[in-house]
Amino acid sequence: MSLSRREFFKGGAAIGGGIAIGLTLTGCGGQTAYPGASASDLRPNAFLQVRPDGVVVFQLPRAEMGQGVYTGLTTVVAEELSMPASAIVVEHAYYHPAFRDAEFGMMMTGGSVSLRNNYTILRQSAANLGEWMRQAAATQLNTDAAGLRVENAAVVSPDGSAIGFAALVETAKTLTAPEDAELKNPADFQQIGKESVRLDALAKVTGTATFGIDCNVPGAVTAVMRRCPHLGGRVKRFDDNAAKAIKGVQDIFEINGAVAVVASGYWPARKAADALEIEWDKGALAGLDEAKLLAHHRELLLEDGRNVAEIGDEKSAIGERVEVEYRVPMLSHSPMEPPNALVSISSDKVEVWTGSQVPDTVIGVVAAAIDCPREQVVVHNQMLGGGFGRRLVPDYIVEAAKIAKQVGKPVKLVWSREDDVQHDYYRPAATALLSATVDNGRVTSFGGKTVVPSIMGRLMPIFAEAAMPEWLPPAIPRSLAGLARHFDTSMTEGLGDTNYRFPYIKIDTVRDETPIPVGFWRSVGHSQNAFFTESFMDELAHKVGQDPVAFRLQHIPEESNRYRVLKMVAEKAQWGQAPAGQFQGVAAHDAFHSSVAQVVNASVKGNAIQVHKVVCAVHCGLAVNPDVVRSQMESAIIFGLTAALKSKITLDDGRVVQSNFHDYTMLKLAETPEIEVHIVPSSEPPTGVGEPGLPPLAPALANAVFAATGQRLRELPLKLA
């Protein structure tokens, strides 16, 4: 869907006695977008609403999963309306095509685009609303709007008298909504660029915030699933006699190749599921283990692959050839809130309560799963207890919908931690061969070849089926999946588009078609490709006898943001002056339109790696709320440090070995280093901050370990011999 700015802001809609500003809406099925509107009102699905009592309501079109959009996007609105962000009522928006992200074509939260892609449009929407109220006040006062200003949900006259929004609603409805109101001068910002308390913080720390797992409706039953422990496997047969004898159990049946247990509550359902005796068909991945997967990757490295970047003249690649292999494992998302969904089906409506990063995809897959019109599916999106990309895949919601249809009651499906770890859509395992030629102390070429599955090839059928008109044949989504596999940029992002400059650069990729379920994991391809690239850059710096920071600066444009953050982090971390017994490593990476550089101070005692401090510099355009930016860098660093030192999903006979936090371990508080974040001042529009802080961490740490021990660690998690 493509809309010009004029088309987007055209018109307004009267709702519930108030006014809304945003899109002209036609043909919208489902529930009204504003819970306070009556059934006879036109469904607006616009960003902003003024209720009859003068309260400003913001329909949040992105999922809040800890990354701060609840605060950041509301702050943008509040700034243009010159009112406290805390005075705005924030509601999770229901799906409407108007909320589809122009970059991805769906209503989604991911790719660190929430602020970047909503900053200007929300400012304009709020400015239009403010101007609408000024015109309404001018009409009522019979004066020129030029002398009036909007402040604290009121219009203020030059003499200081004010008319609240509540008194202006009816007059505003008689006027034409502005389309291109003047935006506030950034020099006059009072909230954007300033630190403020997160709007969702109090509810979260007091336990009053509602997440998907908190939702319930009268008459709902609870369901759990027993899935084949072997990835891609299915149930052959099962004996449920012992399970059915457990008090509270209501039904047991096969669904989606697994066994569903429905009971009066979670505990009886879980006990019954554990009591089932099941014989499994292991499926296509039977026999696959880590050794076989690595051997397969090494075979694929011998293939030519697909070229994704070739810059310069191959004849420049003269001198000694350097070639090294890097590898990263599969990783689980493991958000603190496991997957869950509550589904209630009636004759004319299917309601879903969950936390999802893709509400419109949920609508499509649920409608397809239970064979109902999409217009009947309503998603009540909630706060997410962590997402990291896992909640881009609605498999658990489809399960809940199918179970609810079969039992004829509202069903709340809850995954256990074991379900979550062993049945994820994993960050794929990847192997890379990095190469270079060095002549007389000068790097004359830089090359790389990755072997990695295509995430888009795996997930495109799900997204395409959800988005396509229902009359299109199933072959269309399958065809799109084939195209996605071929052009999946996540396979080489951060490697194939690097801004390092060498006389000759050549980057290739080979698809691993092994049918392991893979998905988007925080920072996606950057998570492994930064490790490959920045580790190898460090190796090359030492190969030619240069300081790692100086070597990088020599090979990137001085006008680039990567150059700026690298210079800043070296200065702030006092590069080359580590405390006694500590050693430094550095890495810099561009991801999601932001640049991040990090210096890690680490020490090694025996085979134990200890991280003492991480200094981070980030260029993310204008920092709407610097505190949120810092918290996201800190979060990404801790997430990345966990992956660098601890996390690994391994296979044995096609079965995930790990099952819970005892063997898929997280970084502990006592292991968390001091973290120092510096934000490069900028007046450019905001860019992404949810993911870019993760990619540099692992290579910076690996480079610090090399500085401490002289040992190159080329596989994650980092383990000293």
DSSP H or E stretch at residue 574: none
Is the Cβ–Cβ distance between 257 and 235 less than 8 Å? yes
Q: Sorting pLDDT into bands at 50, 70 and 90, what band is 97?
A: confident
Q: Sorting pLDDT into bands at 50, 70 and 90, what band is 5?
A: very low
The residue ranges of every structural domain in the chain are 5-205, 212-283+339-414, 292-330+428-709
Enter the DSSP assignment of 84.
Answer: -
Residue 301 is predicted with a pLDDT of 98
What predicted TM-score, i.e. pTM, was given to this entire model?
0.93
pLDDT, average across residues 568-577: 98
DSSP 3-state assignment of 419? helix
89-98, 285-294, 428-437: range with lowest mean pLDDT: 89-98
pLDDT, average across residues 345-370: 96
Q: What are the residues facing 91 on neighbouring strands?
A: 59
Tell me the fold of 212-283+339-414: Aldehyde Oxidoreductase; domain 4 (3.30.365)
Backbone angles phi, psi at 203, to 5 degrees: -65, -35
Look at residue 75 and tell me whether its pLDDT is greater than 90. Answer: yes
Residue 467 is predicted with a pLDDT of 65
pLDDT, average across residues 691-700: 98
The whole-angstrom separation of Cα 435 and Cα 443 is 11
292-295, long-range: CB < 8 A, 24+ apart: 293/429, 293/514, 293/651, 294/327, 294/431
Residue 96 is predicted with a pLDDT of 81
35-39, 571-575, 710-714: range with lowest mean pLDDT: 35-39
Q: Sorting pLDDT into bands at 50, 70 and 90, what band is 482?
A: low
Burial level of 114, CB count in 10 A (0-12/13-18/19+)? buried
Other Cβ atoms less than 10 A from the Cβ of 682: the count is 16
**What are 113-122's pLDDT values in tens digits?**
999 999 999 9
- CA distances (Å), origin 40, targets 16, 31, 170, 284: 8, 11, 18, 54
pLDDT, average across residues 289-309: 97
32-41, 121-130, 476-485: range with lowest mean pLDDT: 32-41
Residue 102 is predicted with a pLDDT of 83
The whole-angstrom separation of Cα 596 and Cα 538 is 16
The whole-angstrom separation of Cα 543 and Cα 566 is 20
User: Do 5-205 and 212-283+339-414 have matching folds?
Assistant: yes
Look at residue 16 and tell me whether its pLDDT is greater than 70. Answer: no
3-state SS track over 255-323: ECCEEEEEECCHHHHHHHHHHCEEEEECCCCCCCCHHHHHHHHHHHCCCCCEEEEEEECHHHCCCEEEE
Average per-residue pLDDT for the chain = 92
CATH 3.20.20.70 for the 5-205 domain, yes or no: no
Is the Cβ–Cβ distance between 330 and 426 less than 8 Å? yes
Residues 6+ apart with CB under 8 A from 527: 328, 427, 521, 640, 643, 694, 695
60-74, 94-108, 378-392, 642-656: range with lowest mean pLDDT: 94-108
One of 3.40.50.450, 3.30.365.10, 3.40.630.10, 3.10.450.50 is the CATH number of 292-330+428-709, namely: 3.30.365.10
Name the residue type at position 702: A
pLDDT, average across residues 57-74: 96
Q: Sorting pLDDT into bands at 50, 70 and 90, what band is 23?
A: very low
